[in-house]
Amino acid sequence: MGTSSTFITLALLSTLIHVGADSWRGIKPLHSSRTDVERIFGAAGSECKCTYDSEEFNVFVVYSSGTCNSAESNGWNVPPDTVIRFTVYPKNRPKLSALKIDKRKYKVTEDQELPGVFYYINEEEGIGFSVENDVVNSFFYIPSIKDNKMHC
């Protein structure tokens, strides 16, 4: 990867983890709908209607099946087709050491089944990422602590 390519990749990825990053490209867990996601990325390109691909990344979205009154609420009191959480898989994966993040804001845990894979999670902001050998494999967005009131 050349210097300009590295710079472009880091610039794109810096938008994935900025201060107060409880949303990405306008998508926010428990607040955005499938319609919002498809307005940004177009129709999903998979049988599950939950994956979206571009030149820079792939996105996997988990949608609600219904409110707490339904049997398939996914644990959240939101309408069907509301974004519960989503994961962004960058095609040019950055090194964690190249990202300017405050590691003190993240709880770090190692995957129990995949030794060497670590998850950095900031529950207050609802963002996290997975890292292996200093390479960021994915960024994920989850409901933030302030949205716990929507939990069933």
pLDDT at 71: 66
Residue-range definition of the domain harbouring residue 133: 3-150
pLDDT at 18: 46
Quote the CA–CA distance of 144 and 140 in Å, as a whole number.
12
| Strand ranges, E, within 46-116 | 51-53, 57-63, 83-90, 107-110
SS3 95: strand
pLDDT at 67: 81
Residues of the chain with pLDDT under 50: 1, 3-15, 18-20
pLDDT at 5: 45
Q: What is the DSSP string of 7-62?
A: HHHHHHHHTTS-TT-S-BTTB-TTT-BHHHHHHHH-S--STTS-EEE-SSEEEEEE
Task: Confirm if 80 and 44 have CB atoms less than 8 A apart.
Answer: no
Quote the CA–CA distance of 16 and 84 in Å, as a whole number.
18
Per residue in 90-119, pLDDT tens? 999 999 999 888 889 999 999 999 999 999
Q: What is the pTM of this model?
A: 0.83
pLDDT at 73: 60
Per residue in 6-17, pLDDT tens? 444 444 444 455
Task: Please state the domain count of the chain.
Answer: 1
